């Protein structure tokens, strides 16, 4: 005998948990399904920025010299595996197609109302979730640190593009930056301080706090394998630890694993998976007590449970999910070194690196090549 619900939400990352909470608010009887606890995958391994400023998506470069540097794998912010090229080429082509100024502008206009609400949406959930959630979120903005005058000028130019979207930021000289964060290295010549973007010291725990709110309010959160989602004449069913669940509607919020379900159902969604890395660094002095910061494509967040986390966010290593190096990648920053000869430089806030091994990890995220059209809707809170 199957249990019934109004909606099955597959995946208890930040997207699935938020969807479940909002459906619950609209009086739906929701069952949330995951193969493990809430927020233990991508929603754990990210930089924890609630990116109010992220209105303009990362786009495929249009300048030949920059494209060539990516093609040669000479970039810090993205790398690819040559063996993956045949598979990702069509996706890259669409990504490139969608990088015209008009299409980027269209994407930004579509994203703007979502990003304008992201902080208020989190604040509402944090208030409802209470103590733990409150302690995990810091409202001091994050810093985009620049090492050269040239990169600072570019960052200022990019920040100005956000003026029309109401993004709150300040341009800081090196001296102003060090007044705010005394431990920032002299190598940093200036920064953009995105004042209106809060950060979480532990995004995985924040997701768990939201999931607890969902169950506290009567939602059911069960273990199960989303790949066992099956279509019924009346809706959907999935097998959980407590037996079969049937519902009229289903939401797929499986992050980088969503295609495993969509493919079976005959959807070919234009998404690819990127991989990021993070490692844990010990903080020096009061470094880490303040704002999150980024320098040279790497992001660091204020110290969480295990010291400062350095997130190398935009390493679009592909293939990601199935790559054999997944487990090797868990050994300190060696995975990073393997892809690029230079080690990450977390000296925006100097800290001592712990010995290799142990507490670092990698997580995958999804990236889409351009505006999504069609009847199916796939939610990603990081809409790049």
Ligand X SMILES: Cc1cc2nc3c(=O)[nH]c(=O)nc-3n(C[C@H](O)[C@H](O)[C@H](O)COP(=O)(O)OP(=O)(O)OC[C@H]3O[C@@H](n4cnc5c(N)ncnc54)[C@H](O)[C@@H]3O)c2cc1C
Residues that bind ligand X (CB under 6 A): 11-16, 33-36, 40-43, 45-49, 51, 225-227, 253-257, 276, 278, 311, 313, 363-365, 380-382
DSSP-based three-state secondary structure for 136: helix
Instruction: Record the tokens describing residue 280, joined without a space.
Output: 């844990």
- 174/288 with CB nearer ligand X: 288
Place of tokens 């540097």: 69
Buried b / exposed e over 85-118, threshold 16 CB at 10 Å, is: eeebeebbebbbebbeeeebeebbeebbeebeeb
**Smallest gap from residue 101 Cβ to ligand X (A):** 24
- 174/274 with CB nearer ligand X: 274
**Smallest gap from residue 108 Cβ to ligand X (A):** 16
Question: Rounded to the nearest 10 degrees, what angle do helices 101-129 and 14-25 cross at?
Answer: 70
**Smallest gap from residue 175 Cβ to ligand X (A):** 27
DSSP-based three-state secondary structure for 345: coil
Bond before 375 cis per omega within 30 degrees: no
**Smallest gap from residue 77 Cβ to ligand X (A):** 12
- 46/332 with CB nearer ligand X: 46
- 287/294 with CB nearer ligand X: 294
CA distance 57 to 100: 12
Helix or strand run (H / E) with residue 88? helix 85-97
Spacing of C-alpha 384 from chain mean position: 9
CA distance 162 to 194: 11
- 167/174 with CB nearer ligand X: 167
| Interior angle at CA 12, CA 136 and CA 332, nearest 5 | 65
**Smallest gap from residue 14 Cβ to ligand X (A):** 5
**Smallest gap from residue 34 Cβ to ligand X (A):** 4
Instruction: Name the strands in the sheet holding 220-223, side by side, starting at the edge strand that comes first in the sequence.
Output: 220-223, 30-34, 3-10, 243-252, 235-240, 230-232
- 174/363 with CB nearer ligand X: 363
- 159/300 with CB nearer ligand X: 300
**Smallest gap from residue 222 Cβ to ligand X (A):** 10
Under a CB-based contact definition with an 8 Å cutoff, are residues 31 and 229 in contact?
Answer: no
- 276/344 with CB nearer ligand X: 276
- 360/364 with CB nearer ligand X: 364
CA distance 5 to 202: 31
Instruction: Record the tokens describing residue 152, joined without a space.
Output: 């600072």
| Interior angle at CA 351, CA 346 and CA 352, nearest 5 | 110
**Smallest gap from residue 210 Cβ to ligand X (A):** 11
**Smallest gap from residue 185 Cβ to ligand X (A):** 22
């Amino acid at each position: 005998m199957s249990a019934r619900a109004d909606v099955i939400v597959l995946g208890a990352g930040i997207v699935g948990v938020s969807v479940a909470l909002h459906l619950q608010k609209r009086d739906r009887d929701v069952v949330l399904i995951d193969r493990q606890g809430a927020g233990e995958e991508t929603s754990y391994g990210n930089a924890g920025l609630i990116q109010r400023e992220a209105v303009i998506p990362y786009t495929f470069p249009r300048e030949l010299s920059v494209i060539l540097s990516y093609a040669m794998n000479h970039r810090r912010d993205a790398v690819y595996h040559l063996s993956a090229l045949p598979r990702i080429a069509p996706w890259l082509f669409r990504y490139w197609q969608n990088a015209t100024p008009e299409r980027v502008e269209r994407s930004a206009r579509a994203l703007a109302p979502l990003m304008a609400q992201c902080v208020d949406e989190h604040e509402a959930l944090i208030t409802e979730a209470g103590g733990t959630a409150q302690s995990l979120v810091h409202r001091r903005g994050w810093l985009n640190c620049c090492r050269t005058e040239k990169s600072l000028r570019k960052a200022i130019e990019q920040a100005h593009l956000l003026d029309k979207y109401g993004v709150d930021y300040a341009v800081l000289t090196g001296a102003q930056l060090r007044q705010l964060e005394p431990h920032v290295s002299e190598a940093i010549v200036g920064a953009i301080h995105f004042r209106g973007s809060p950060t979480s010291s532990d995004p995985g725990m924040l997701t768990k706090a939201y999931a607890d709110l969902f169950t506290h309010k009567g939602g059911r959160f069960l273990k199960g394998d989303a790949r066992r989602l099956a279509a019924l004449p009346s809706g959907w069913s999935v097998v959980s630890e407590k037996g079969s669940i049937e519902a009229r509607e289903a939401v797929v919020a499986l992050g980088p694993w969503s295609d495993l379900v969509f493919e079976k159902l005959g959807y070919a969604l234009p998404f690819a998976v990127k991989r990021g890395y993070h490692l844990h660094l010990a903080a020096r002095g009061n470094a880490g007590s303040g704002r999150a910061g980024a320098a040279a494509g790497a992001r660091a967040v204020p110290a969480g449970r295990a010291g400062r986390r350095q997130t190398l966010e935009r390493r679009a290593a592909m293939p990601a999910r199935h790559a054999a190096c997944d487990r090797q990648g868990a050994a300190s920053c060696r995975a990073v070194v393997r892809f690029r000869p230079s080690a990450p430089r977390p000296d925006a806030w100097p800290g001592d690196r712990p010995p290799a091994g142990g507490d670092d990890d990698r997580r995958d995220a999804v990236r889409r090549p351009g505006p999504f059209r069609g009847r199916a809707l796939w939610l990603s809170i990081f809409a790049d």
